[in-house]
Structure 1
Amino acid sequence: MTTRLIVWRHGNTDWNAAGRVQGQTDVPLNDIGRRQAAEAATLLAAMTPDAIVASDLRRASDTAAALAAVTGQQVGYDERLRERFFGVWQGLTTAEVADQRPEEYARWKAGNDVVGGDVETLDDLGKRVADGFQDAARLGSLVVVATHGAAARQGIGHLLGWPIEQVRTLRALQNCHWVELTQDGSRGWQLAAYNVGVFTDRPVPPPV
């Protein structure tokens, strides 16, 4: 039996639009994000998911709620699917981080762990999100998980067993775009599709 897991990034927020680091700050969707979620939900509902699971942060849970409104399903919530904790960066724009904490910013831009600022390590992030993915995948043959940009990328990399250098080759997910992963008994987890969605004409905001 093959399991399909759809990893769905939340819709746009005002902090996304401003290039502000969200992390685990509970920022809601803006009007664009709500529209993105509604339009993407139409496509995802056509896949007839067996279950929907979301991060409990509003921008992800409200994105998942748009799909639940179409399918009539209940959304399950999992704190492990939250965005990376960005410590003292949260609330700053990426330009402010670069100016105020240049060494940390340089490590982040290079895809390395940030030393200082109480930022969650990539390994810790990958492990917790991948654990959430694994539990969600047990809920059916097709499960949709609503999460966040950095969380999605690192969790996917951990699930696939990729080294950090390979995870860095994944382009940041656009708002309300998704990844499809498959798993079967002989091949384990595989990447089937990446950055799929309705909106393709907007710049990709940082996955923070």
Structure 2
Amino acid sequence: MESTEILLIRHGETPWNALRRLQGHTDIPLNAEGRRQAKALAYALSNEKLDAVYASDLQRAIQTAGEIARLQGVSTRLEAGFRERCFGAFEGQLYSDLPHLHPEAYISWKSGDPDFVFPPGERQGESVRQFHARVISNLRFYAKRHAGQKIAVVAHGGVLECAYREAKQLPLSAPREVTIYNASINRFTLHGDVLQLMQWGDIAHLDADAMDELAPDR
């Protein structure tokens, strides 16, 4: 049984990242800094042969993946299963406003309840349990399709957190224990159904620290 190398990458910075505004499924493009990060990321990976480049179908991931795919000479393959968690009515709101706009839901969210579902907004929200199952099933499916190869998956902070939890076998209710940077490279392998973390949070290719839109506690 051959292992698959997975480079799991968070998209570059967006205007909403800079404002600390919750994005979720809202389709926000990269800002100028995000585009710079994407180009630096692609150049850093240009000496590694990638057999495929996958991306969430949201444009901040598509734009980031496009820079990588262009230098690799491959096309970007889009997969909605790699979207960020849907935050329902929380989407579009500043983090600082959430305790006042949705006090009860905010408390439930911060409690770490894996079955808490955001109040519906333009879209129906997801629980951590639903989101984690979606992400990990898609990650395993596409990694197994490329057994013995190396692939890049360009996605979102929440997607990276799901993979980290799975590899570390952390409970879904546990507080987040790592920083998730824009345009960071995070290396995993999949052998059978076992996801293993090899390297986390590589941003050596960026001139300055990339942004972590979520506070480390959640």
- 1:205 corresponds to which letter in structure 2? E
Does the alignment pair 1:117 with 2:106?
Answer: no
For the residues of structure 2 that align with 1:155 and 1:81, how far apart are their CA atoms?
A: 11
For the residues of structure 2 that align with 1:160 and 1:133, how far apart are their CA atoms?
A: 15
Task: Tell me the TM-score normalised to structure 1 length.
Answer: 0.89
How far the C-alpha of 1:101 sits from its partner, in A, is 1.2
For the residues of structure 2 that align with 1:203 and 1:146, how far apart are their CA atoms?
A: 16
- 1:134 corresponds to which letter in structure 2? R
8 A contact 1:153–1:172 mirrored in 2: no
8 A contact 1:82–1:147 mirrored in 2: yes
Aligned to 2:21: 20
- 2:119 corresponds to which letter in structure 1? G
Greater displacement, 193-202 / 141-150 = 193-202
Aligned to 1:171: 178
Aligned to 2:31: 30
Aligned to 1:73: 74
CA RMSD of aligned residues (A): 2.2
Aligned to 1:82: 83
Cα distance change of structure 1 residues 108 and 50 upon mapping to structure 2, 3 Å threshold: same
Aligned to 1:147: 155
For the residues of structure 2 that align with 1:77 and 1:202, how far apart are their CA atoms?
A: 24
Aligned to 1:7: 8
How far the C-alpha of 1:111 sits from its partner, in A, is 3.1
Task: Tell me the TM-score normalised to structure 2 length.
Answer: 0.85
SS of the residue corresponding to residue 145 of structure 1 reads strand
How far the C-alpha of 1:116 sits from its partner, in A, is 4.4
8 A contact 1:6–1:144 mirrored in 2: yes
How far the C-alpha of 1:170 sits from its partner, in A, is 3.4
For the residues of structure 2 that align with 1:116 and 1:177, how far apart are their CA atoms?
A: 27
Aligned residue runs from structure 1 range 150-161, under 5 A = 150-158=158-166, 161=169
Count the aligned residue pairs: 206
For the residues of structure 1 that align with 2:39 and 2:118, how far apart are their CA atoms?
A: 38
- 1:132 corresponds to which letter in structure 2? N
Aligned to 2:134: 128
- 1:56 corresponds to which letter in structure 2? D
For the residues of structure 2 that align with 1:60 and 1:160, how far apart are their CA atoms?
A: 25
Does the alignment pair 1:205 with 2:210?
Answer: no
Residue 192 (structure 1) aligned to one of 156, 179, 198: 198
8 A contact 1:4–1:182 mirrored in 2: yes
For the residues of structure 2 that align with 1:125 and 1:38, how far apart are their CA atoms?
A: 29
Runs of 5+ consecutive residues of structure 2 not aligned to the other structure: none
After TM superposition, which residue ranges in structure 1, 4 or more long, deviate above 4 angstroms?
Answer: none
Q: Percent identity?
A: 31
Greater displacement, 113-122 / 42-51 = 113-122
Aligned to 2:188: 181
SS of the residue corresponding to residue 32 of structure 1 reads helix
SS of the residue corresponding to residue 57 of structure 2 reads coil
Structure 1 residues 34-71: Cα deviation after superposition (integer angstroms, max 9, x where no partner): 00011011122322111100000000011000101111
